[in-house]
Structure formats: C-alpha cells, structure tokens
Amino acid sequence: MAYFCQECGYKSLKWLGRCPECGSWNTLVEEKESLIKSKNKLKQETKEIKILKLSDIRYEEKPRILTGISEFDLVLGGGIVPGSFILIGGDPGIGKSTLLTQVAGILAEKGLKVVYLSAEESAEQVKLRVERLGLGAKVFFVGDNNLSAVIEELKTLKPDLLIVDSIQTVFLPELESPPGGVSQIRECANVLMRFAKEQGVITIVVGHITKGGIIAGPKVLEHLVDVVLYLEGEKETGFRLLRAVKNRFGPVNEIGVFLMTSKGLAPHAQYEDLFLSGEENAAIFCVIEGTRPLLVEVQSLVAKSFLAVPRRTAVGFDPIRLSLLVAILEKKFHFNFTNQDIYVKVSGGLKITDPSADMAVAVSLVSSLLEKPLPPKTLFIGEVGLSGEIRPVRDIVLRLKEAEKKGIKKAFVPERIDLSNHSLSLEIFPCKRLIEVCEKLFR
C-alpha cells in the first residue's frame, strides 16, 4: 500500500497533508499499488528489441483528418493526425461530451468507423444527444466500463476513432485499486495507448478535473499523450475556449472560440466582440495565443479601502504581477495606492500570462485611481520593468496589424521598434518609460 496524490500521481509511503510535488492540499489517498495479475504484461516485456537507424525508417505521411468544425481543427494544428492520442480536460458540464459527440457524428458521416465508449451516460442519452445535434447515428456505442473486456471486443471491430468518456469511469478488473484512482487512470491510459499505437486508432479521452481533487486530475496523463486540450469558459456566458496546452503535431496555446447553442458547440469566428466592450476605463492590449493575435481588454477598479490590509484582486491576471505593477507605480512614479482596494479583470474569461499586458494593466490602474478616462480605440503593448521602463515584446508587428484590422487608431509601444518596412495607418507612440505614457494620457 502507498499514498498517491490524486492530482499529479506523486507516491509517498506515509500520508502527507500537502503534496510535495504539485503543492495541492489533501490530495493523498491510500491505494494499492498497481500490480497487474495477468501474465500479458510479462509476456510483452520479453519481446525482441530492435535498434534502428532513423534513416532506415520508412513511413508514409497520412493526411490529417478534418472534422469541419473549424475552430477544433485549428486548435489541433490543422485537423486530427491519424493514430494520435488526444486528452481533453475540463470542468464537468462544460461541454466535452457535446463537442466529442459532434466530432464522432461528423466523422462517422464521413465513413470512419467511430466507437463512443461512455461509462457515464446510457446509450439512450447519447443517442438523444446525437439526434438533438442533428447528426446521423452511424456511431457505435459501448456502455461498459470494464476496459479490458471492451478492448478485446474492439480488436475485432477495428475502429478508426475511439472516444472514451471518461477516463475516470473506466477500470481494469486486473487492478485491485478502485476506479477513478490514480493507479487505475494511469494503467487504463497505458492500455488505451498500447491499443491505439498498435492498431493505429485515433483515441480521444475525456478527463474531468475537479478543484477538490476528489477525482484524479488528468495531470498524470499529460506526459503520456500526444495532445492535451482544455475546454474552459464561464458557463453563464455560453462562450467556450478550447486550448491546446500540449501538441506534438502543432502549436501550443492555440485557442478556439465556441458558443454553446441548442445545436451544440458552434465555432465562433467573430470572437473579437467577446473580448472588447468599449468601456471608457478599459485598456486594450493584444496577446498572442498560439499563432493567433487576440485583442483583449482589461479593466481596473481602485476604490477606498476600509480594511486593515487593502485588497489586491485579479481575475485573469497574475496577482503577483499586479502587486509588482502597483509597487512600481508607487515607488517610481509616486502614485498613491495606499488604503485603496484594487480589482483587475481581464475580459472574456481569458487567463493572461503574456507579459505584454503589463502596460495596459498599469494604465488602467492609473486611470481608475485618477478617475480619468482612457482615450478610445487605443492599444497598449509593453512589458514593464522594475524601474518602470517599457520593454519590447515579441511579434509586435503582428499585434499592431491585428489592432489596425479591428479599428484601433493609436498604439503606445516600447521604444526602438522598427516599423519602417510596414505600412501601418496607426498613430504610434514609442515610450521609454511608463511615466511618459501616463503623462500623455492624463495630463
């Protein structure tokens, strides 16, 4: 027996309150170690080993499979690579089953043999969803959660695409640990992986993530699979973002934007209105998500605090970066944020990690502190250094072009960027220090 962290799979011989590997609390659960009783595993290990030279390896490049769901194909880097193993994670109820039902239905229509393994929903529920989504019901369905038995059956059926919904609910009877535990999840994934690679089956696996860490997070699987997608979003708004956080066949951090409709998830190409509101105290900046530039807005609220320790709250932005920016504004430029609560919010449920957002956050803070509006249709791009200098960021031309396309008229950018070869109609203000930006805006 040993204790396993349900988030990351860390193993410990004694119980610990906090996982030393991933830092999550109360996630260590006692489990039997995964000893597979059957002899199959041993047989496999005695297989003859071949050592090859790369130049001797022949392969034919198979074309990628397009689902026709434009944003889904884009996030994968241009369609599904045959034989790939894809993990899709997300909170319960966010729309993973919906998206995969659409993918299954469309690809079955195109003539692929698709198997939908669902241990969560009954055959009727899945059929109802397929019909509601207006898809033909050519998909095969398995409702059994005994993975060993299912795999045996699938060896004769030979599907082209296998969808497993979800990895937390299937189990291997050979293992003694309970379904949903880390050992089960890891072994199930290994079994699926072996099946997928041996038979050349595209496999898409759903993994639930829960904040309480009760069901094992798909973190333990991330290193194993080819592609990791996350479906996220604010449930109330109906917008969903699909993000590739790992992709062996394409760019990472590519995002796709969907709208949840009564006919399932619809690609939402006009995503710009999702992130821009046009409020006068909102600062616009441009992040690069994967290969795609996105205009995003940040709003700040600075209000007199009645607390002993004023609040510093950030939604969609790193709170540590926020504290840094406030410290820089106070120390270097003598803006006074003492006794002020600070709230910062990035639009559209996006989580920004791109340092180029610094300038926009800083000006929106100052704008709210001084109660002076920001000029409309103005872009702010630049990282802010600790002495208040504006630092250059990558792909500035791409960002400016995107802004121009979306009707932005002015842009505050770092100094010493060369735009001579690009015809941009934007009015550009190169700035060396943050204070120059503030002086131009709030004088």
Where along the sequence are the contacts to ligand TYD (CB under 6 A)? 90, 92-98, 129, 132-133, 260, 262-264
Integer Cα distance of 427 and 440 in angstroms: 14
Binding flag, residue 168, Mg ion (CB under 5 A): no
- Give least dist CB 165 to ligand TYD, A: 7
Segment near Mg ion (CB under 5 A); pick from 22-30, 95-103, 269-277, 363-371: 95-103
> Which residue, among 228, 150, 227, 220, has the nearest Cα to 191 in the 3D structure?
150
Q: How far is the CB of 237 from Mg ion (least distance, A)?
A: 20
CA 388/CA 351 separation, integer angstroms:
24
When the beta carbons of 97 and 356 are compared against Mg ion, the nearer one is: 97
Which residue's entry shows tokens 């204790």? 3
For residue 218, the minimal CB distance to Mg ion (Å) is: 14
**Among ligand TYD, Mg ion, none, what does residue 180 contact (CB within 5–8 Å per kind)?**
none
Proportion of the chain in helix, strand, coil states, percent, rounded to 5: 30, 25, 45
* Pick 27 or 97: Cβ nearer Mg ion: 97
102 near Mg ion, judged by CB under 5 A? no
Total Cβ atoms within 10 A of residue 231: 22
Asked whether the beta carbons of 46 and 36 are under 8 A apart, the reply is: no
Which residue's CB is nearer to Mg ion, number 8 or number 99?
99
User: Which of the stretches 28-36, 92-100, 102-110, 283-291 binds Mg ion when contact is defined by CB under 5 A?
Assistant: 92-100
Question: Interacting stretch for Mg ion, rule CB under 5 A, among 90-98, 277-285, 339-347, 384-392?
Answer: 90-98
Residue 97 binds to Mg ion (criterion: CB under 5 A): yes
Closer residue to Mg ion (CB): 97 or 368: 97
- Minimum distance from residue 166 beta carbon to ligand TYD (Å): 8
The minimum distance between CB 78 and ligand TYD, in angstroms, equals: 25
Instruction: Report yes or no: 309 and 344 within 8 Å, Cβ to Cβ.
Output: no
The answer to whether 246 and 227 have CB atoms below 8 angstroms apart is: yes
Cβ 117 to Mg ion shortest distance, Å: 12
- Which CB, 132 or 155, lies closer to ligand TYD? 132
Candidates 5-13, 97-105, 239-247, 433-441 — which segment interacts with Mg ion by CB under 5 A? Answer: 97-105
Minimum CB–partner distance for residue 128 and ligand TYD (Å): 9
262 binds, options ligand TYD, Mg ion, none, Cβ within 5 to 8 A by partner type: ligand TYD
CB of 93 vs Mg ion, minimal distance in Å? 8
Beta carbon nearer to Mg ion, 34 or 97: 97
338 binds, among ligand TYD, Mg ion, none (CB under 5 to 8 A by kind): none
Separation between Cα atoms, residue 121 and residue 139, nearest integer Å? 15
SS3 call for 239: strand
Q: Which stretch binds Mg ion (CB under 5 A): 9-17, 96-104, 237-245, 412-420?
A: 96-104
Question: Judged by CB, which is closer to ligand TYD: 92, or 178?
Answer: 92
CB-wise, 95 or 414, nearer to ligand TYD? 95
Which of Mg ion, ligand TYD, none does residue 278 bind to, with CB < 5 to 8 Å depending on kind?
none
Q: Strand locations in 85-183, DSSP E? A: 85-90, 114-118, 140-142, 161-165
Q: Counting beta carbons within 10 angstroms of the beta carbon of residue 223, is it exposed (0 to 12), middle (13 to 18) or buried (19 or more)?
A: exposed
Calpha distance 286→404 (Å, rounded): 11
Give 8 or 241: the residue with its C-beta nearer to Mg ion: 241
**Partner in contact with 90, chosen from Mg ion, ligand TYD, none, beta carbon below 5 to 8 Å by kind:** ligand TYD
To ligand TYD, the closest distance from the beta carbon of 214 in angstroms equals 15
114 in Cβ contact with 108 (< 8 Å)? yes
Q: Give the DSSP per-residue string, 326-347.
A: HHHHHHHH----TTEEEEEEEG
Q: Half-sphere exposure of 141 toward its Cβ, with a 13 Å CA cutoff?
A: 18
SS3 209: coil
**Shortest CB 425 distance to Mg ion, Å:** 47
For residues 443 and 441, what is the distance between their CA atoms, to the nearest angstrom?
Answer: 6
**Collapsing DSSP states into helix, strand and coil, what is residue 432?**
coil
**In this chain, which stretch among 17-25, 58-66, 93-101, 345-353 interacts with Mg ion, using CB under 5 A?**
93-101
Sheet holding 427-431, edge to edge: 312-315, 340-346, 292-304, 282-289, 378-380, 410-414, 427-431
Q: Note the residues at the interface with Mg ion (CB under 5 A).
A: 97
